[in-house]
Amino acid sequence: MTQDAPVLDSYKRYAAGDDSAMGEIVRAYADSMTFFTATLVKNPSDAEEIVADAFVEIALKKRAFRGESQLRTYLFAICRHKAIDMIRKRARRGEILSLEPEQVSDYETLEARVLRTERDEALHTAMAELNEVYRVALYLVYFEGMTHADVARAMKKSLKQTENIIFRARRALRALLEKEGFTYEDV
């Protein structure tokens, strides 16, 4: 059984009509989806809105998930697409993506739930300096435990492209961590 199996069972129950099973899915993935999305849109409030929209989408389209990937991969892909749509809309309107002072504390609270140790904080800081494609790929691999194939599906890339991205991202991350005094093996 994969780590996604209990939640997949919840999804199957939900698709079969057990509305209470949606709560299990939300509890399993909401925090990590929000953190992931916040790294893309740079705004915790928008990230929470996108995650809520993602759950609404699967609620409205109960049978849209066909099981070709893990449920988590499917949900993260929905969030990524919605985040990209939001970023594009903002760019068309000329909005600048940055944290407002009141959002900084929200973002820090969100980070605190996910990042627990000094090592994780150093890793997070180094990852924030990576370009978005590298950051997303490494986040999905390391923090969400996705396989390269799952990451490829979530990012809409071929497996070979994804493996190259992950290889280059690890190399870039290693250089950043070494600059901060960590060895890659420490992380």
User: pTM of the full predicted structure?
Assistant: 0.57
Same-domain check for residues 169 and 110: no
**Mean pLDDT, each 10-residue run in order, the chain (187 residues):** 68 82 86 86 87 86 73 86 84 59 50 52 77 88 86 91 93 84 57
Same-domain check for residues 95 and 126: no
- State how far the Cα of 82 lies from the Cα of 96, in Å rounded to an integer: 17
Same-domain check for residues 101 and 152: no
Tell me the CATH number at 33. Answer: 1.10.1740.10
Amino acid identity for residue 121 in this structure: E
Same-domain check for residues 87 and 133: no
- Determine the pLDDT at residue 73: 84
**CA 32 vs CA 39, 49, 92: distances in Å:** 11, 14, 28
**HEC states along 101-159?**
HHHHHHHHHHHHHHCCCHHHHHHHHHHHCCCHHHHHHHHHHHHCCCCHHHHHHHHCCCH
**CA 6 vs CA 70, 71, 141, 162: distances in Å:** 11, 10, 20, 27
- Determine the pLDDT at residue 101: 46
Phi then psi dihedrals of residue 123, to 5 deg: -65, -45
Same-domain check for residues 121 and 83: no
Same-domain check for residues 126 and 141: yes
What are the pLDDT digits (tens) for 61-96? 766 677 777 888 888 888 988 888 888 887 776 655
Same-domain check for residues 108 and 186: no
Same-domain check for residues 105 and 152: no
* Domain limit, last residue, from 114, 130, 160: 114
Same-domain check for residues 85 and 129: no
Residue 53's CB: how many other CB atoms inside 10 A?
14
- CA-nearest of 81, 65, 57 to 7 is 65
* Domain limit, last residue, from 59, 80, 114: 114
Domain count, the chain: 2
Same-domain check for residues 89 and 143: no
Domain of residue 74 covers 1-114
Same-domain check for residues 109 and 121: no
Tell me the CATH number at 177. Answer: 1.10.10.10
Contacts of 125-131 with CB under 8 Å at 24 or more apart are 125/180, 126/173, 126/176, 126/177, 126/180, 127/173, 128/39, 129/176, 130/169, 130/172, 130/173, 130/176
Same-domain check for residues 105 and 184: no
